[in-house]
A and B are shown apart, each in its own frame.
Chain A
Amino acid sequence: MASDRIEKRIELKAPPSEVWRALTDYREFGQWFRVKLDGPFVLGQVSRGQITYPGYEHVRWEALVEKMEPQRLFSFRWPHPKSFEKSDTPPDYSSEPTTLVEFRLEKTANGTLLVVTESGFDKLPNDRRLEAFRRNDGGWAEQTKNIENHLAQKS
């Protein structure tokens, strides 16, 4: 896995039109993502809501919608975990680090291939609070690969 992005591929037994609706209709999105959105997704606008996932109901959800190419690409940016803490100041999208989430749809014989990418992790600050998520596994070879990838972007 590259050090600055996550990619997930999933085959769905449903046509692209239905997958598109599940992604971009704010009520359908909310049902599977587990968030209660205030209103529809609008290109170029911030979408807001409240997480409904058990245990996280205090978390506000926010995303800035970037692209909506029907049945092809839906993308948004969202600010990162430090803003999961209860805060009265809304995130400033021009200065806070965000990651980009992209949903790409492809019609297949059996339905739809959905490729989800989240990228931009290398822009997150080296925050010691992330210590909570440290894992102890991973040999040196893997570490070296991660470091090399990290360097390739820095130089």
Chain B
Amino acid sequence: MLVAKLCGAEPRSIAQLTEGSKLTRQAITKHLRVLESAGIVHGMRRGRENLFALDPEPIQELKGYLDLVAEQWDQALARLKAFVEE
């Protein structure tokens, strides 16, 4: 999968990402642009090539934030339980 290929941290070119994939170069480029707009992938130029690398920060941020909200729900629901069961 596209993102798994980017997980090695080394920036990859579109040609490298297309290798061994059933998707066309066009489709891969389209996916990369979507990922780029989501802030998960960032592109850079190296010589004549466009390279792409994974930026896991936004995902980590969202995941960490969700964990925090989930913890708050655990606490609130524990208080609800105590409230209705007394």
Contact = CB atoms under 8 A, between A and B. Distances in A.
A43 interface: no
B3 A144 contact: yes
A148 B84 CA distance: 40
B66 to A, nearest CB: 6
Contacts of A140: 7
B39 A133 contact: no
B25 interface: no
Nearest to A112: B84
Nearest to B73: A8
B1 to A, nearest CB: 7
B65 A133 contact: yes
Contacts of B3: 144, 147-148, 151
Interface residues of A, number: 40
A116 B58 CA distance: 26
A121 B74 contact: no
A31 interface: yes
Contacts of B31: 151, 155
Given A1-B66, A154-B34, A147 B81 contact: no
Given A138-B60, A147-B3, 15 more contacts: A3-B59, A6-B73, A12-B81, A22-B80, A23-B80, A34-B76, A121-B65, A126-B39, A133-B64, A133-B67, A135-B63, A135-B64, A143-B59, A148-B3, A150-B40
28 contacts: A3-B63, A6-B66, A6-B69, A12-B84, A12-B85, A18-B84, A22-B80, A22-B84, A32-B82, A32-B83, A33-B80, A114-B77, A118-B69, A118-B73, A124-B62, A130-B65, A133-B61, A134-B60, A135-B64, A143-B60, A144-B3, A147-B3, A148-B3, A150-B40, A151-B3, A151-B31, A151-B34, A154-B34
Interface of B: 1, 3-4, 7, 31, 34-35, 38-40, 56-70, 73-74, 76-77, 79-85
